[in-house]
Structure 1
Amino acid sequence: MAQRRRVRRALVAVLTLVLAATMATAAGQFARADDPVKILLLLDVSGSMNEKISSGGTKLAAARTALKQVADALPDGTQVGLRVYGSEIEEPKEENPKACQDTKSVMPVGRLDRARMHRAIDSFDAVGETPISYALEQSIKDLGGQGKRVVVLVSDGEENCVPDPCPVAEKLAAAGVDLQFNAIGLDVNSKARQQLRCIVDVTDGSYYDAEDTEELTDSLQKLTKRALRPFTTSGAPIKGSLDRGEAPVAAPGQYVDSYDATAKPRYYRIERTPGSTVSAALSTVVSPFRGGFNQETWSLRLLTDDGETCTTGTSGGTASFGTSVHTASVTTAYWGFDPADRCVGEPVLLEVVRTSYQGNKATAKVELVVREDPPITNLAELPKNLTAWKGASTVPSRKSAPVVGGTAFSNAAELKPGSYRDTIAAGETLFYRIAAEPGQTIRATVDFPQPGTESAQGSVAVTPKVRLLSPIRNTIHEDSSGMVGEIEQPTRLTTGTPQLRIRNREIDIKDGETGAIGAATFGGVHYLAVALSPNLDSESGRIMPIQLNIAVDGAPAGLPVYASPSPTPEPSTAAPTDPATSPGGPGSEPTPGPTNSAGPVDPGRLEGALLGTLGLLGVLLVAGVITVLVLRRRKRPS
């Protein structure tokens, strides 16, 4: 009986966290208030759900109990529905072909009514086939075509009406930008697990195993505090052109686009004030290809209208056990301010190329940020560039305050000097904002785990990593270290910036030290990215408390004087303009976009109000991150 309760509790935990996290994924995006997250629970009630699980009781009984407890845990106002398949037709599909269309909505998607949901959960039996593909198609109809739509599939077996449900999932995903599939395999075999993983991979969702008491208990230990959260893209929609002459105008702001795997260049036109500094950044995720190894490269180039290269940037990496976050950026900052130079004085084109390996053809969503800094009138009076930097020194610990890291750049939690505590799951990347101006230096020390806390049971096989990124999202400095075996003392990683100076861009970049100096050339919001990558698939989801110690040294000094209003710190999410009708001329100031900064929060809310404080959570297995950000520049003319 105790084992059966553990099975049910673990299944409840996984279901609840998947629901909580997927609901919150949309909270970090720029969604309309009248487009709430809609969740559909899709339950397998084929005949095999009457089988006993190893700890006693049937799979169906465990699922009923889990669903009822999930209903009790969801907050008021949740948009949720329930669909089942295999509940009506007992004859096999060979005798009754309609068995492959045996699915029904037992509770339409709508505002949560707990009593109604309990009745719906008790309203069906497990008798039929396993038409996963057809049920997925009907699920999308249940959810409608607007807003963030999430399907949570619970199945104990493989599709048996079509050879492979993955092509159907891919087709449905391609038609729904804000669609996410998640799945839980309940005591499944390898073929069923492969099918379910494929379904969730097409939308960067998550798969969880609930095979037996031991693994369910392990899942409960890993995920009771926090589900994995996905990197989310946000901004105004834009579509890069394959033709340079038809490139859409991307004013300073933030955009979202999607890329196929054809490796064809896409172009965006950036108008500018002569002598201004233009920067562009791309953020995306690389996902495993059907549960396996994947490798991708994203290349950025700023060029003139006739194709002369101004500057390039590349982000390349792999994904093995889950998705990994990648950024790439390019900037004309290293060209100086001579308007006679075409890369300084004329509009430029942003070229983006995605190269995907291992046969991966899945569409990838990207977030693009365009920034323009007006010409600086007092450049000669500003401090000259640094010539050396030996890295950031450790930040001492203080009394810590709770904080919840963001899931992306757009909802990064704000950190001021001091100490903070958070929790991270293996496979997760958390984002934080730290403001600093020229004359100041940022230092950040992160302890894995937080000193004085229990990190996890047993040995670990994870790799923590910290990165400090500039306002244009290029990496200034990073630090990482593998953790294998029993944890005897925390792993302490420190990252930071050289002293920020506008003229640091004048340094001749030769290596990592000079590269860090050259990247520390912008004032404003910097980003601390903290990742915990699993080195084994079984490590995904391992919870670890962390402590972040933050210092911002010095006072603002050597501030630039701009020829026109200074850059807007927050990117705009206004829609892009047509090249022929662009109202914004060179030097026009971007409209600030919405912000979502999160400061320290009460940890009680994190555990007590399931979705209220998991408002930014989602489900994602992330790992195997090897990110390379290369910033090349042409030799500066004498």
Structure 2
Amino acid sequence: MKRQRGTGRTAGVLAAAVCAALALPGGARAAGEGGGYAFDDQARRVKGAVSNLDAERLTAGQSYRDTIKKDGKLYYRVDLDDKQNAYVSVVAVPKAGAKAGYSDGIKVTMQDGSGTDCGHQSVNFGGFGFARPIAAYTHRTIDPDSSSCQQVGAYYVLVERTSESDGSDWELELRYVTEPGLRKTGPTALPETWASGTPQPPAGGPQRRDGGAGFHNATSLRQGEWRTDIRPGQTMYYRVPVDWGQQIFATAELGSSPAADAYVGYALTVSLMNPARGYVDGKDLSYDGDPSTLALDPQRPVAYENRFSSNDSTSGLRFAGWYYLSATLSPEIAKAYGDKPLPLTLRVNVTGQSKPQPAYDGPAGPFTVTDDDREAAASGQSGPQAARSGTLRVVGVAGIGAGTVLVLGLGAWWLLARRAAGAGPTPG
């Protein structure tokens, strides 16, 4: 009887392990398979309100899903103290193949109870001519020199959509995170000089690393040259750990094609987003079948005082953590070059020595770079930021595949059951 009870416990553990393996992101199939955006599988459904007083409350550290109609305006609520900085990001995901005008896009604003604008960001599709996932954020920043938006109370996040060309609904992915305040006030002035020259391309030659289909499963990169293939209409996501005092540089090269020599404007766009998923910079290139290269503008080193800059790109480099790169290939490429993927190379440089983090009055949360982050970047791990620490190493079955885990688990359970019943071990 003791053996039988032990076997039951073992079988329960094995069954739980198999279920856990099947539940892992990517365990059954890759998120965003088929070219679509990969939403956070832990996101909760929320319904934005047309009036701020009816807005649902968002919880820090949680992701949400919603839908916005053409020319829609949606309100959400966050309750803030007078010590922490708050960030709410919105990823707008139109339907695949939707057309978009130059000014079509989204605007995200945070307001206090009196309607004062605490911070906003607008992002549009530019001259691309078609819709793709775009991200913007808003924030309430603690500023000792400001009297507005510093009080304890209810604040409201307003998401506005402008769309002249696409009448279909857009899906939204929202995320609310907080950053601790400082134990003591630090400098607010930006350094007058900084290294603005583009470094030499990283050494070592290209290595294969395919991108994820969303922020949630973005593929980790360190400094290096990274090779992939991208299909017309596809958007790939990568993330790079950038510490305090460091700079990130990125270039993208679209390889040649023998299929045709037709000219396609706005063929590839590459964007840089910060750890709060706020837009920092973006560039695009045209393509005529020959190799074509773009480079993101040189940016200042990551520093706390960057947040006090009036320049949006500089202000976005306000904290350490995972910085995101997205690359989108225009669906117009398919008309001239077919629906086959084109070769794409990303070259990433991270320069500068890491500096100590500011005197945060509490854990930095996602706004730091850990040894586990650097290890994830070196090995190319993908998945949610919550999968920091040794979790990825402990649950190594994720790399085996759910089917293999299931077979091994059932085989082990069967063998234990035979032993418990008095049967000898089975060869093989």
Q: Contact (CA 8 Å) 1:329, 1:474: kept in 2 or not?
A: yes
Judged with a 3 Å threshold, the aligned counterparts in structure 2 of structure 1 residues 298 and 515 are, in CA distance, closer, same or farther, namely closer
Task: Give per-residue Cα distances to partners, 1:88-132, cap 9 Å, x unaligned.
Answer: xxxxxxxxxxxxxxxxxxxxxxxxxxxxxxxxxxxxxxxxxxxxx
Is 1:497 paired with 2:304?
A: no
1:353 paired residue number: 160
Q: Give the root-mean-square deviation of aligned CA atoms.
A: 3.8
Comparing 460-469 with 405-414, greater Cα deviation is found at 460-469
- Match of residue 253, structure 2, among 423, 443, 447: 447
Contact 1:434–1:525 (Cα < 8 Å) also in 2: yes
- What stretches of structure 1 of length at least 5 have no aligned partner? 1-30, 38-76, 79-147, 149-179, 181-226, 571-590, 600-608, 613-638
Equivalent residues, number: 351
Provide the rounded CA distance (Å) in 1 between the counterparts of 2:299 and 2:285.
19
Distance 1:502 1:448 in 2: 35
- 1:431 Cα deviation from its structure 2 partner: 0.7
Counterpart of 2:355 in structure 1 is 557
Quote how far apart the aligned CAs of 1:273 are. 2.8
Letter in 2 for 1:480: D
Is the CA contact 2:245–2:302 (under 8 Å) kept in the aligned structure 1?
yes
Distance (Å, rounded) in 2 between the aligned partners of 1:414 and 1:363: 31
Q: How far does residue 494 in structure 1 lie from its aligned partner after superposition? A: 4.3
Structure 1 segments of 4 or more deviating over 6 A? Answer: 34-37, 318-321
Corresponding position of 1:515: 312
- How is 1:86-235 mapped onto 2 (pairs within 5 angstroms)? 229-234=35-40, 235=43
Q: What is the identity, as a one-letter code, of the residue corresponding to 1:479?
A: K
Equivalent residue, structure 1, for 2:275: 471
Task: Determine if contact 1:456/1:543 at 8 Å carries over to the other structure.
Answer: no
So what's the TM-score if we normalise by structure 1?
0.49
Question: Which residue does 2:221 correspond to in 1?
Answer: 415
Q: Is 2:342 aligned against 1:544?
A: yes
Is the Cα–Cα contact under 8 Å of residues 384 and 501 in structure 1 kept in the other structure?
Answer: no
Q: Alignment partner of 1:257: what SS?
A: strand
Q: Which one of the candidate residues 93, 105, 110 is aligned to 1:297?
A: 105
Check 1:246–1:403 CA distance in 2 against 1; reply closer, same or farther (3 A cut).
same
Change in CA separation of 1:559 and 1:353 when aligned onto 2, cut-off 3 Å:
same
The answer to whether the 8 A contact 1:237-1:257 is kept is: yes
Distance 2:35 2:176 in 1: 26
Q: CA deviation at 1:260?
A: 2.2
- Give the equivalent residue in structure 2 for 1:116: none
Whichever residue aligns with residue 190 of structure 2, its letter is: N
Which of 274, 286, 304 pairs up with 1:482? Answer: 286
Structure 2: where are the runs of 5+ without partners? Answer: 1-19, 369-383, 393-400, 405-428
Contact 1:456 1:544 in 2 (8 A): no
Shift of residue 379 of structure 1?
Answer: 3.6
Cα gap change, 1:377 to 1:339, in 2 (>3 Å) = farther
* Corresponding residue of 1:136: none
Query: For 1:475 and 1:426, how far apart are their aligned partners in 2?
Result: 23
- Letter aligned with residue 532 of structure 1: L
**Contact 1:259–1:364, Cα closer than 8 Å, also in 2:** yes
CA apart distance, 1:285? 2.4
CA distance in 2, matches of 1:481, 1:461: 11
| Cα deviation, residue 536, structure 1 | 5.4
Instruction: Give aligned-pair identity as a percent.
Output: 19
Counterpart in 2 of 1:269?
77
Secondary structure of 2:314 counterpart: helix
2:358 partner amino acid: P
Verify: 1:259 aligned to 2:68, yes or no: yes
Among candidates 329, 340, 365, match of residue 567 of structure 1: 365
TM-superposed deviation, 1:314 = 1.5
Larger of the two Rg values belongs to structure: 1
Letter aligned with residue 357 of structure 2 = L
Which runs of structure 2 are paired with 1:274-423 in the superposition (5 Å)? 274-287=82-95, 296-317=104-125, 323-333=131-141, 336-337=143-144, 341-343=148-150, 345-358=152-165, 360=167, 362-380=168-186, 384-387=189-192, 390=196, 392-423=198-229
Deviation at 1:322, TM superposition (A): 5.0
Where 1:482 maps in the other structure, the secondary structure is strand
> In structure 2, the residue corresponding to 1:566 is in which secondary structure?
coil
- Give how far 1:354 is off: 2.1
Distance 2:51 2:223 in 1: 47
Tell me if 1:238 matches 2:42: no
Secondary structure at the counterpart of residue 521 of structure 1: coil
CA displacement 1:499-534 (0-9 Å, x = unmatched): 001001122x2xxxx432222111111001122224
What is the alpha-carbon distance in structure 2 between the residues aligned to residue 320 and residue 548 of structure 1?
20
1:403 CA displacement: 0.8
Deviations 1:30-70 (A, max 9, x none): x9947999xxxxxxxxxxxxxxxxxxxxxxxxxxxxxxxxx
The answer for the alignment partner of 1:428 in structure 2 is 234
**How far has the Cα of 1:337 moved from its partner?**
4.3
Distance 1:320 1:439 in 2: 34
Partner of 1:248: 56
Aligned counterparts of 1:341 and 1:394: Cα–Cα separation in 2: 44
* Matched-pair contact (CA < 8 Å) for 2:47–2:66: yes
Residues 232 and 333 in structure 2, CA contact (< 8 A), matched pair in contact too? no
**Deviation per CA, 1:463-496, whole angstroms, max 9, x where unpaired?**
2222221112222222222122x41x44253455
Mapped partners of 1:533, 1:391: distance in 2: 30
Partner of 1:602: none
CA distance in structure 1 between the partners assigned to 2:272 and 2:387 by the alignment: 23
State the distance in 1 between where 2:59 and 2:128 align. Answer: 36
Q: Residue 558 of structure 1: CA displacement? A: 4.7
CA contact (8 A) 1:318 1:324 kept: no
Matching of residue 526 in structure 1 with residue 350 in structure 2: no
| Deviation for aligned residue 1:262 | 5.2
Deviations 1:166-209 (A, max 9, x none): xxxxxxxxxxxxxx9xxxxxxxxxxxxxxxxxxxxxxxxxxxxx
Shift of 1:375: 0.9
